[in-house]
Amino acid sequence: MAARAEFLDRIKREVAKTPGLFPATPAPRPANPAEAAEIVRRQIAERWPQALERFREEFERVAGVFHRVGSLAEVPNVVRGIAKEKGVSEIVCWDRAPLGLDLRPSLGAEGLTVTVAEAGQESDEARVRHRAEAARAGLGVTGCDFALAETGTLILLSGSGRPRSTSLLPDTHVAVFDRTRLLESLEQVGIMLEALHADPARSMSGAMITFITGPSRTADIELTLTRGVHGPKEVHAIFVERP
Amino acid sequence: MSESPLAVPFPERAGAALQDAFLQQALAIATTKFIELRKESFEGFPQGEALRDRARAIKEATLQRLDFYLGQLADSIERLGGRVHWATTGAEAREIVLRLCRDKGVRMAVKSKSMATEEIDLNEALEHAGVTPVETDLGEYIIQLAHERPSHIIAPAIHKTKGQVAELFSKELHGDFAADPEVLTAVARKALREKFLQADMGITGANFAVAETGTVALVTNEGNGRMVTSLPRLHVAVMGIEKVIPSMTDLMVFLAILARSATGQKLSSYTTLVRGPRQKGELEGPDEFHLILMDNGRARQIAGTLREALYCLRCGACLNVCPVYRQIGGHAYGYTYPGPIGILLTAMLKGTESVKDLAHASSLCGACKDVCPVRIDIPRMLIELREHLDRERIAPWPERMIFSMFKLILLSPALFHVSAFLGRALQIPFVTNGRVRRLPLFFAKWTRTRDLPPIAAKTFRERWKELD
């Protein structure tokens, strides 16, 4: 590690040469992230309807399609409708634990091929197989760890039974969430992520956190907005009223 | 890349850009649109101003302990099973990537948009080494197929028409494609999807890296950043040392203002936070994660005159508002980073000598400082650069001579008086309809494209005296 020591020594010497441009500190952080996260959760438990309304508004503003159902039992119906509309026959899903339900019994019976990324799979063969499945599938169904109202953003953590490609390779992405996932501001996201990293054993198992704000888009040709350049062309969010 | 813009001096490069009718139109449309989008997005965001102050303070605070945060970042990444490499120069950074390619048998690398890799001409080096680099940001992909360079930090191909792109795709991808952005985007999607699934290595930059958690943040709209960090078996991130920030809380502050400044979005479509390689229990993600921490001239500016330029987020907002960029576009600048901040970054990376003309490619109007999300005082540093060029005798001698004379005159009331008197007399043949329209000798360059107001018939002091 000589390279590292030498490199950092040089930086240290440069840093020591100047007091800087003005006195400055990083952003103040929650002293106890877990506690701060709990406070946010309690606040939102009381005012979630407003947060949900804001989420819907912002999500639709970025071309997201919002659905609302009474219970998890109604989710397969919505997914079926989207699949039908898109002419999709293959669906990939997260494991039932992070997703909240298993779509196979209800959708499999109707001629749709539903592949579930079971938790615990991590072999090379499983990886290659899953990639081919996800690349073929027209629809990917995931859970959603945080739904950020301020920007209409779905935040997904990768991990066991939560592959990254489910929300990336299929043309249409469907995320399922309930009121306990709602957050109001990026600041609150910061608190949640601080809490997550302070106690990684609890929920942060994967290496990736993805913020999804609407479908994939580009304006690289003559500034003409075009959707679905690499990622999904359509993003749906299904809100489940009874967690 | 094929053309070498630096073979032609800057005034000629700028002149050529001014003659390019399409470029003029494209620049006007693009920059105006970006300005409007940014303005609208901040208008509905009252906390934006305070967040900009906060972001600025975070950047400054990080620089004050940069060695600490870089060490912490490296520790965090190694704890997660990632590898950290230290590159003092651009050449070292390139060599690290090439060595990884050799050791791991890499034949194709997919890249998401990264100014840091542009800065070190990584694509050329990879090609030389027999590795195929594929740019996957649509704009960068177009530029790569055309063997050109990006002309805007966030919209690399704004200088190209859809007709040109259709022609390019038809030729390079063997088809007959309509000049329709929708069609062309679909063509690129199909071509690049295959590459994502085949590539051995994903190469990215980093918009931010969080020291405490070892998280590299990538902000994209297309989803290519997610592809290259999820699908290939290797992920290599190349980042300038100034991109490190302390905590997740800090990251949220930057996310709140970055997309707003760049494209007027509240957030870009995708913000990807990656920490290390695939973790236990995960089905997907790379086997290996490598972070290259690159200095390449940055560290010597920590205590230098360009320190503040190290705050830059690469949002491109200062390009859009700059009256010079709006006229000449990115290519005329001749280096990786165009626009007002580009001049400073070029001076930082390539030395002040390289910007002896560019340092003057600014009206010092201050629009760049106004829109900068971290309020970088670009005009101040441009003035300091000009001073430096003069002091070090890098500036051309006529310029230095004229300004020395000017200084002499301004310092002596008597000389000033005499000069005003002489000037009034000498200007008579050149004044028509109350304007100086043409000057002789090398002063002619000044009046070729603009008029001068003539020296007034009476100086202020003379008029003051008359008041008594």
Q: Which two tokens stand for residue B6?
A: 């630096």
Q: Is B60:A21 a contact under the CB 8 Å cutoff?
A: yes
Alpha-carbon gap, residue B199 to B216, rounded angstroms? 21
Contacts of B80 in chain A (CB under 8 A): 207
Q: How far is CA B389 from CA A122, B137, B160, B247, B392, in A?
A: 59, 37, 35, 39, 5
Any bridge partners for residue B430, and if so which? Answer: none
Long-range pairs of A57-60 with CB within 8 A, sequence gap ≥ 24? A57/A152, A58/A149, A58/A150, A58/A151, A58/A152, A58/A153, A58/B266, A59/A152, A59/A214, A59/A237, A60/A152
Alpha-carbon gap, residue B254 to B58, rounded angstroms? 9
Alpha-carbon gap, residue B271 to A186, rounded angstroms? 12
The dihedral of CA A186, A190, A196, A197: what is its sign? positive
pTM (2 d.p.): 0.94
Best B193, B248, B272 residue to mutate vs chain A (most A CBs within 10 Å): B248
Best A218, A225, A233 residue to mutate vs chain B (most B CBs within 10 Å): A218
Q: Look at residue B173 in the predicted model and tell me its pLDDT.
A: 94
Mean pLDDT of B336-352: 96
pLDDT, tens only, A90-126: 999 999 999 999 999 999 888 899 999 999 898 999 9
Helix pair B181-198, A124-136: axis angle to 10 deg: 170
- How far B393 CA sits from the closest chain A CA (Å)? 26
Mean pLDDT of B179-204: 96
Is residue B58 scored above 80 in pLDDT?
A: yes
pLDDT, tens only, B210-233: 999 999 999 999 999 999 999 999
Contacts of B61 in chain A (CB under 8 A): 24-26
Is residue B468 scored above 90 in pLDDT?
A: no
Domains contained in chain A, number: 1
Mean pLDDT of B383-396: 88
Q: Which two tokens stand for residue A61?
A: 């503003």
Mean pLDDT of B136-140: 95
Is residue B275 scored above 80 in pLDDT?
A: yes
Contacts of A121 in chain B (CB under 8 A): 283
pLDDT, tens only, A127-137: 999 999 999 99
Contacts of A229 in chain B (CB under 8 A): 138, 185, 188-189, 222-224
Model confidence band, residue B153 (pLDDT cutoffs 50, 70, 90) = confident
Residue A203: give its domain's CATH number. 3.40.50.10420
Nearest CA in chain B to A20: B64
Model confidence band, residue B2 (pLDDT cutoffs 50, 70, 90) = very low
Is residue A237 scored above 60 in pLDDT?
A: yes
A155 in any annotated domain? yes
Contacts of B302 in chain A (CB under 8 A): 11, 14-15, 17-18
The dihedral of CA A66, A67, A70, A73: what is its sign? negative
Is residue B18 scored above 70 in pLDDT?
A: yes
Other CB atoms within a 10 A radius of the CB of residue B19 amount to: 9
Is residue B158 scored above 80 in pLDDT?
A: yes
CATH 2.40.10.480 given to domain B308-391: no
Burial class (CB in 10 A: 0-12, 13-18, 19+), B167: middle
Count residue pairs from A and B with Cβ separation < 8 A.
Answer: 271
Query: Does B458 or B342 have the greater pLDDT score?
Result: B342
DSSP B37-71: HHHHHHHT-TTHHHHHHHHHHHHHHHHHTHHHHHH
Q: Look at residue B4 in the predicted model and tell me its pLDDT.
A: 57
Is residue A1 scored above 50 in pLDDT?
A: no
Superfamily of domain B45-294: NagB/RpiA/CoA transferase-like (3.40.50.10420)
Mean pLDDT of B22-48: 94
User: By residue range, what is the domain housing residue A201?
Assistant: 30-218+225-240
A39 three-class SS? helix
Q: Look at residue B446 in the predicted model and tell me its pLDDT.
A: 79
Helix, strand, coil percentages, rounded to 5, for chain A: 45, 20, 35
Helix, strand, coil percentages, rounded to 5, for chain B: 55, 10, 35
Let me know the angle formed at the C-alpha of A117 by B78 and A97, rounded to the nearest 5 degrees: 90
> Which residues have C-beta within 8 Å of that of residue B188, sequence separation ≥ 6?
A229, B138, B141, B169
Contact B136 A30 (CB under 8 A): no
Q: Look at residue A184 in the predicted model and tell me its pLDDT.
A: 98
Q: Is B404:B396 a contact under the CB 8 Å cutoff?
A: no
Q: Which residue ranges does chain B devote to CATH 3.40.50.10420?
A: 45-294
pLDDT, tens only, B410-434: 999 999 889 888 988 888 888 888 8
Q: Is B283:A205 a contact under the CB 8 Å cutoff?
A: no
Contacts of A206 in chain B (CB under 8 A): 279, 281-282, 285
pLDDT, tens only, A179-218: 999 999 999 999 999 999 887 665 567 899 999 999 999 9
Contact B86 A7 (CB under 8 A): yes
Best B47, B207, B224, B282 residue to mutate vs chain A (most A CBs within 10 Å): B282
Alpha-carbon gap, residue B218 to B209, rounded angstroms? 9
Quote ipTM for the complex: 0.96
Q: Which two tokens stand for residue B296?
A: 């390449």
Interface residue A151 vs chain B (CB under 8 A): yes
A159 in any annotated domain? yes
Q: Look at residue A243 in the predicted model and tell me its pLDDT.
A: 75
> Which residues have C-beta within 8 Å of that of residue B37, sequence separation ≥ 6?
B263, B264, B265
Is residue B127 scored above 70 in pLDDT?
A: yes
Q: Is B41:B260 a contact under the CB 8 Å cutoff?
A: yes
Task: Indicate the range of A53-57, B23-27, B263-267, B364-368 predicted with least confidence.
Answer: B23-27
Nearest CA in chain B to A170: B193
Terminal CA-CA length for chain A: 51
Report the largest interatomic distance among the alpha carbons of chain B, rounded to a whole angstrom: 91
Mean pLDDT of B386-415: 88
pLDDT, tens only, A20-68: 999 999 999 999 999 999 999 999 999 999 999 999 999 999 999 999 9
B108 three-class SS? strand
